[in-house]
Amino acid sequence: MTRVALIAHDDEKPEMIDLAQSYESTLSEFDLVGTGTTSKRIMAETDLTVERKESGPMGGDTQIGAEVAEGRMDGIIFLRDPLTAQPHEPDISALLRICDVHDVPLATTRTSAEYILDGLVRDEADD
């Protein structure tokens, strides 16, 4: 089953909720994982089930990065706030780097997220 991580900085959580609602039928076919608050909000506002990791500042980004390194992640949707400094920026940079190293698609905007989700659906259909 396709495994996708959903992560959003605080100012981007409303956009992530909107994305999850718009793509709910697609996302329901995936094995979803996400950071703490993002996962909690998605599950509260949709019928999706999301495996909750720690919040980003508490190590959730690192936990997801470990899954990338283990070959267990097919895509990451990480709606980042580029205008606000994050206290766990080294963890964020490590996640971005590990996705590059392991060639795992990573979206940081709504538009790129839609492209990745549509691509993952096509990949599943081809298998």
Annotated binding site: 9, 13, 35-38, 55-56, 88
Identify the H or E element spanning 94. helix 89-101
* Annotated catalytic residue, options 18, 61, 91, 103: 61
> Which residues does the annotation place in the binding site for substrate?
9, 13, 35-38, 55-56, 88
3 beta partners: 31
Q: Give the residue among 24, 27, 29 at the shortest CA–CA distance from 127.
A: 29
Assess whether 123 carries a catalytic annotation: no
- Residue 16, φ and ψ in degrees, nearest 5: -65, -40
- What gap in Å lies between CA 46 and CA 17, rounded to an integer? 8
**H or E stretch at 32:** strand 31-34
Distances (CA, A) of 100 to 17, 55, 75, 96, 105: 26, 22, 11, 6, 8
Indicate which residues carry an active-site annotation: 61
